[in-house]
Structure 1
Amino acid sequence: MNIIKSSSGWLVYAFATTVSWGIWGALIESPEKNGFPATMGYIAWALTMIPCAIVGLKITNWKLETSPKAIVLGMAAGLTGAGGQIILFQALREGPAYIIFPIISLYPIVTIALSTTLLKESATRRQAFGICLALIAIYLLSYSNGEKKLTEGHTWLILSALVFLAWGLQAYVMKFANQSMKAESIFFYMTISGLTLIPIAYYMTDTSQEINYGWDGAYAAFFIHLLNSFGALALVYALRHGKAIIVVPLTGLSPLITITLSLILYNVWPSPTLLAGMLVALVAMYLFSK
């Protein structure tokens, strides 16, 4: 993958992430509906990171950076992402998805804030306008009127805030790490960190329920999550060559692809809110591509 070296290479990688994550989003509910729970899906996802990590190392002729700094940065990038996913499982048990997802979808705000203040990244007026539109679109695309669920306490809100911070911090760490180490090494340590959290995901699984390990369950989850892992690898490359304040909002528009595919596959027409989000997302993508 690391053969694209033109000035617009980061855009190719960013779009690869957006498209692969968008397709992943359209298909990911299928295994769960067929009896393969999301927590087990995490395990499948962690395992799909392995072949992508092998491809990355092959590109660098198996040269893995093993300095303490490289290990810490790589593991930090992985644990913030995978840890956020584990926390999200619990947040969804405590509170309503229709509120939680719009909250965490705005995690690029954290990345933008850290990258502008600590990495001194800046954007042109056109790009800045695109970033603002992207954040609006991300929120609209993540919004759902779902069933109103009565919540008790504020645990779900605290957990949602932790996911919001973790995912925003992850993208910043990935960009920061790219300044001193190879993208392939970053992804390798992200893979290791994802694998280390498998026992937690398994512990959170209700094993008293029958789990579908068949082709439409576990196997389907593996191949679907492979799209997510490929997108994550492409994201590391995008952040190596592009600014985090632009790359992250752009990849956050993956729900645009998800909704479009869902419309085609399931014949589901988007609500006015989602339709508005799709239109705003298209404008944002146009601004980023110029």
Structure 2
Amino acid sequence: MGENRARADAGGNLSRPGKKQRPWWRRLRRRPAAHPLPSREPAPSPTVCRLRIVSYNIHKGWGPFNRRLTIAEMREALHALGPDLVLLQEVQGVHLGHAQRHPQWPAQPQYQFLADERLPERIYGGNRFHELGHHGNAVLSRFPVQDWANHDVSAHRWESRGILHCAFSLPNGVILHVFCVHLGLRAHWRRQQLERLRELIAALPPQVPVVVGGDFNDWGRDAEELLAVPLGLQDAFTATGRRAPPRTYPARGLAIGRLDRLYVRGGTVRAARVLRGRPWSHLSDHLPLWIEFDVERR
């Protein structure tokens, strides 16, 4: 009896002689699969436009740790969602080096490749330019764009940032204003950029519906204090009952950072999801946000 007793190691874990134990990280329970997205239902009336909106930092088309080119898989995964509006960050417009080294590199700019014919409006704002190409933010849409502008909010020349502002005409006659952002890495840079974003939104009439999404790089809650509260914006996830914005970074393993946000005004959030698990955990270093948003003509 004494020869076969379980022994406790220095960490208090029990083991039996002759039985190899799996490492502790292998014994963790896996996160359950995300709930499927709700089926697309028709809008309740002709005055309501029901939108499926995605915000996604695509990491220039590379998977986590830059080990694998995933841009083709991203396109398939995004189109499977049937989105009406897609806000993209870290979009590679051109990169001559990657195009020469990787046969799978798209011949088109990434925003055009991802849009395909299903999202005919493709607006791109280049922010970082170098000798091999450029990258920035992009917005893809099923609806016609009325106007757009890319605002340079770079804190200095080594970290180029922009706010891409687009106005879309919805089928119910409403003009929806969309802001796609990727903010700086340091807190004082982000505060300056949030102040500029607040100025741009404050210049719009208060009844105009607004969607603001992207990679805020905000490890705290500065965006709520400096942007959302003063302008009457609502975090799309707290609007559905969450206590805080969701964790989206890193995509693989345990997500700890609430870096990606979607804020809305002038409509109703019907559902909100973080797209976890495969394929999303292997496509980029961020997880995408998905919401269903009703905009009504008043």
Structure with the greater relative contact order (CA < 8 A, sep ≥ 6): 1 or 2? 1
Q: TM (normalized to structure 1)? A: 0.27
| More strand per residue | 2
| More helix per residue | 1
Which structure: larger Rg? 2
